[in-house]
Amino acid sequence: MGLLTDPRAGSGKIIKFLLKWERPLCFFLYISGIVWVLLLALPIFNDNTYFSENALLPGLVTKESNLEQITKQYYTYLINEMKRYPDVMPYAWLAAKLNQLHLDVFTHNFTLIYPFQEQRFTGQNIYGIIRAPRAASTEAIVVSVPFRPIHSIYLDTAPSIALLLAFAKFCRKQKYWAKDIIFLITEHEQLGIQAWLDAYHGVTSGNGGVLISGDLPGRAGSIQTAINLELHSMKIASIDVKIEGLNGRLPNLDLFNLAQNMIAKEGIRQSFQRRFDVKYKNKFKNWWYHFNTLLMMITSQATGIPTGNHGLFHRFGIEAITLEGFEKPGQQSSDGNFYQVGRIVESIVRSLNNLLERFHQSYFFYLLPSTDTYISIGLYIRSLVLIIGGIFVKAFSMWQRLQVSASTEDKKNIVVKQSKDDGFDIGIITSEILWAHICGVTIATSPFALTYVGKKLDFRTEDSIYFGFVVITILTLIWPFYFKRQMKYKNAALICVIALVELGTVLMCIAMHNFSLALLVAVIYVPYVFILPIMPKQNFTKFHRMLSFGWVSLHPFMIASLIIMCYTYVNFSSDSLPLILFRGYRAIKQAFVFSIVDSMIYGNWLYNVTISTMFPIWFLFWNILCSNIL
């Protein structure tokens, strides 16, 4: 007995209760966690959004802008210019237009050195600054638009550039700005904005030597907030507010509310996750609709990929959202309504201008089931805590069982042998855990080696990474069968306990950063962990064998592939099965490369965290399941 262990431990009422009801209790906690998530979408569980920040004064001021005509003019000019240069940004034209408005105009060059192929890509951002006329240039607001050439695969953003220019012209004449306004037009989607932000703050967010952002010729004050515009048409029927940022960060709820309120005030339909607020009379239908919106937010947040250019601002403590405007499909005849859209932007920026401090009043951690209700962290975290609680209950009761069995053995053998060698073999346990983690870290850093080998074999980056991962997956799966190992039950159980505690801790840590990711991982992994047959092999039934083989599907690479396949199936369900499989296969290849490249350029940690924490945990369990437990 260890010094700190109370010899009477294990005889308490609670502990007895835990040991007796361990499995039902674990499942009860899990199910109640899931039920809690389901209940979150119920209107009675949501609060209506409200403004916490007094300084915003949302929509109190008369809107003065009328940008319809000017936007149209700029739009026709811009379209002509874009047709002349179908593949690049009309730098000169944009800079000239901003110059005409007497803004401080600068261009910013950046270079991307593609990590695996030593290729160089270059790009330019153009930005103009309106200096606050009666205040020191200590704070700034950014209005940005991603430029997309005509041949871009993404939806057109030319109308938003036209609006940006028109709005800049309007702002130039006003005298009430207390903050500088930066009008920023970026190239190459998120690369441009990432490079610009890095250059603005003089940092490198991703790996060194990948995205070379250089320096900026001109700056304004510290950026407080940013509004990113992606308007796809000159006739906007609805505006979607996008919030999910890099690694699942969200902007302050006040900013989201502000945008939603202003859009509603101007009589344009507002949506979240491209879903309008629909109120069904049927309560179940209502709940189901909200729940789907919630689920879409959770899934998009879990990937950690920004849904728009706003997502990269969050890292610097800048609250940012994207307003994405859509045309009503099939509606061609109606006039443009940039009068309203311009007023939305005006009133949002005017409110932001009123801010005295950074957004700090309202929530940073929240989930949204609709545009006007929210779920605070205090409510939603409970679901995950319940689910994770089960893991700790399981780990604790396993540990208690080990103690109980040890103490009963002690009593039997006390006459025969005073010191029987029945303790845990620390060496085996530590090496097991250590090796699993070393494997994890090695795989996390393997893409460079894989592409290097792939290049020798004349593979493309995608292929070399994908096949490399396939090989790694197969190796990790069959490894325990080649090296049949024997392990004492006690040691195996202790490894299991440690792995469980690690899983619980890791999930909780992830939840602190990206709740959605932690929730999804927990929902998938936790029930399986509860039923894993950790027991001597002689007790194994066919069912147990099946269960342990099921664990294969939870290999991080496997589950990622499965999820992407399902996603492809959902999106292209009309195609034939082989085509879907082929699409899925290509999507998986790209997803792996993107997740790795994202982690290098932007610092997205989805790949690194899953491989260096979830993989070792999976591997530990897999080793135990496959070894011969005595």
Partner 1 sequence: MNLNFIVTFYIFHLSCAWEIPDNFAKTGHSNNWAVLVDTSRFWFNYRHVANVLSIYRSVKRLGIPDSQIILMIADDMACNPRNPRPATVFNNIKQHINVYGDDVEVDYRGYEVTVENFVRLLTGRLAPETPRSKKLLTDEGSNILIYLTGHGGNGFLKFQDSEEITSKELGDALEQMWQKRRYHEILFIVDTCQASSMYEKFYSPNILAVASSLVGEDSLSHHLDPAIGVYIIDRYTYYALDFLEKVEPSSSKTLEEFLKVCPKHYCLSTVGVRKDLFRRDPEKVPVTDFFGSLRPIELTTSITNVLLPAKTNKTKAIEPERKYSYVAQFPDVSKFT
* Cα–Cα distance for residue pair 131/137, rounded to 1 Å: 7
On the CB side of 299, CA atoms within 13 Å amount to 9
Tell me the C-alpha to C-alpha distance, in Å, between residue 376 and each of 46, 53, 363, 366, 511. Answer: 8, 17, 7, 5, 14
Tell me the C-alpha to C-alpha distance, in Å, between residue 334 and each of 68, 330, 345. Answer: 14, 11, 21
* Nearest distance from C-beta of residue 270 to partner 1, angstroms: 22
444's CB contacts (< 8 A; 6+ apart) are: 607, 608, 611, 612
Quick one: 178 or 377, whose CB is closer to partner 1? 178
Identify the DSSP state of 414: T
Best CA proximity match to 380, nearest among 511, 505, 237: 511
* Nearest distance from C-beta of residue 509 to partner 1, angstroms: 35
For residue 426, the tally of other CB atoms under 10 A from its CB is 10
* Nearest distance from C-beta of residue 354 to partner 1, angstroms: 6
On the CB side of 264, CA atoms within 13 Å amount to 13
**Residue-level length of the chain:** 630
Quick one: 121 or 176, whose CB is closer to partner 1? 176
* Nearest distance from C-beta of residue 141 to partner 1, angstroms: 13
Quick one: 60 or 471, whose CB is closer to partner 1? 60
Quick one: 75 or 177, whose CB is closer to partner 1? 177
Quick one: 60 or 475, whose CB is closer to partner 1? 60
195's CB contacts (< 8 A; 6+ apart) are: 108, 110, 112, 123, 125, 211, 212, 213, 214
199's CB contacts (< 8 A; 6+ apart) are: 108, 110, 213, 214, 215, 216
Q: What amino acid is encoded at 343 in this protein?
A: R
Quick one: 143 or 600, whose CB is closer to partner 1? 143
Tell me whether strands 366-367 and 119-130 are parallel, antiparallel or unpaired.
unpaired
* Nearest distance from C-beta of residue 310 to partner 1, angstroms: 25
Quick one: 61 or 377, whose CB is closer to partner 1? 61
* Nearest distance from C-beta of residue 61 to partner 1, angstroms: 3
Host H or E run for residue 140: strand 139-146
* Nearest distance from C-beta of residue 64 to partner 1, angstroms: 9
Quick one: 129 or 375, whose CB is closer to partner 1? 129
Quick one: 55 or 562, whose CB is closer to partner 1? 55
Taking the chain, what is the end-to-end CA distance rounded to the nearest angstrom? 23
Please list the residues that pair with 374 across neighbouring strands: 47
Q: Which residues bind partner 1 (CB under 8 A)?
A: 54-55, 57, 60-62, 132-135, 174-178, 350, 353-354, 356
* Nearest distance from C-beta of residue 179 to partner 1, angstroms: 9
Quick one: 53 or 244, whose CB is closer to partner 1? 53
Question: Please, are residues 154 and 192 in contact by the beta-carbon 8 Å criterion?
Answer: no
* Nearest distance from C-beta of residue 73 to partner 1, angstroms: 27
* Nearest distance from C-beta of residue 136 to partner 1, angstroms: 9
Binning the chain into helix, strand and coil, the percentages to the nearest 5 are: 55, 15, 30
* Nearest distance from C-beta of residue 132 to partner 1, angstroms: 6
Best CA proximity match to 114, nearest among 447, 523, 377, 399: 447
Can you give the C-alpha Rg of the chain in angstroms? 28
Quick one: 175 or 411, whose CB is closer to partner 1? 175
* Nearest distance from C-beta of residue 60 to partner 1, angstroms: 5
Quick one: 356 or 566, whose CB is closer to partner 1? 356
